[in-house]
A = this chain, B = another copy of it.
Amino acid sequence: MTGVITRATPVPSPGLPGRVRIYEVGPRDGLQNEQGVIPVEVKEEFVRRLLAAGLPVVEATSFVHPRWVPQLADAAELMGRLGDDGRDCPVLVPNERGLDRALELGLRHVAVFASATETFAAKNLNRTLETQLEMFAPTVERALAAGMDVRAYVSMCFGDPWEGPVAPEQVVEVGQRLLAMGATELSLGDTIGVGTAGHVTALVEAFTAAGTDVDRLALHFHDTYGQALSNVQAGLRAGVTTYDASAGGLGGCPYAQSATGNLATEDLVWLLDGLGIDHGVDLEALVATSAWMAQQLGRPSPSAVVRALAQSTS
């Protein structure tokens, strides 16, 4: 009936960062939970379109064993197809075997995936909090020696479906061990989406009080309880400048029945545009990409911005 507003009005808020780095996780964290098989050509086009839309980092896949995540069994084929264009795309490597495959392909950025809680370390990695770190140590060491950057995900940083609330001190303990090991960046994940704004502030402050530079921290939110973007706002006020997000809000958590998708990259871009914070992403191209991907998957995008704008950009 009327025109759709396609761009947020910039009204800056004092004290926030001038620029934010969006770390796109859709092709890996989003697609790893898809039930059906997505052709590798579709994944390749997805990554290429995300890079073309200006996303500065696109995590492309995971070199996890296909027995655990069959959806990403085409990881080496995907990276081979991307060739030089995918050289700067990070890939998840669960262990040294995964790292070997990344090294063979000449990749430059890897990520490891740790848990902040004993129970999730046991369920996801079959390790304790301590032995998961022992498992990562040689992977991180060899990656650094090969000149790679190593991101370390820390999952269940706000709450855990088995243990309930997670204390910031416990997350700081795990995170600082990973940094001491040589991790370049920590991505603090609210894997089941239970965190709220004050908890985000408290967690970031617990890290900086323990001596961690805020520039080493990234925040990774899920929208299970609708809190993801409000949590980003708290992170911005605490000085964090890297945010994980998933194009179109793709993704979920296979370990928690109620967990819904990642923070949608488009909704994050709308907030950043509104706050006058630079990010370098072409929102129109991104929405068109997510609308196309939703067609490939045969269901609508959960991103509010994609739903509002898809008709005007596709």
Contacts and interface: CB of A to CB of B under 8 A. Distances in A.
A137 interface: no
B275 A226 contact: no
Nearest to A261: B304
B9 A158 contact: yes
Contacts of A271: 196-197, 227, 230
A187 interface: no
A172 to B, nearest CB: 15
Interface residues of A, number: 57
Nearest to A168: B11
Contacts of A201: 11, 13
A304 B198 contact: no
A198 B305 CA distance: 18
A234 interface: yes
Nearest to A276: B198
B270 A3 contact: no
Interface stretch (A47-55, A77-85, A250-258): A250-258
**What is the total number of copies of this protein in its complex?**
2
Contact of A225 (B223, B267, B311): B267
A307 B12 CA distance: 33
A135 interface: no
A210 interface: no
Nearest to A12: B198
A308 interface: yes
The SS class assigned to the A binding surface is loop
Contacts of A198: 10-13, 274-276
A23 to B, nearest CB: 19
B255 A196 contact: no
Nearest to A274: B196
Interface in A1-46: 1-5, 8-13
A288 interface: no
A304 B196 contact: no
Interface string A258-282: 1010001001001101111000000
Given A233-B233, A305-B225, A194 B256 contact: no
Given A224-B308, A225-B308, 20 more contacts: A1-B255, A1-B256, A1-B257, A4-B258, A8-B196, A9-B195, A10-B198, A13-B197, A13-B201, A195-B274, A196-B275, A225-B267, A225-B270, A226-B229, A226-B264, A226-B304, A227-B270, A230-B233, A233-B234, A260-B304
Interface of A: 1-5, 8-13, 158-159, 161-162, 164-165, 192-199, 201-202, 223-227, 229-230, 232-234, 255-258, 260, 264, 267, 270-271, 273-276, 303-305, 307-309, 311
21 contacts: A1-B256, A2-B162, A3-B162, A4-B161, A4-B257, A5-B194, A8-B194, A9-B199, A11-B202, A13-B197, A13-B201, A195-B274, A197-B271, A197-B275, A198-B274, A224-B304, A225-B304, A226-B270, A227-B271, A230-B233, A258-B308
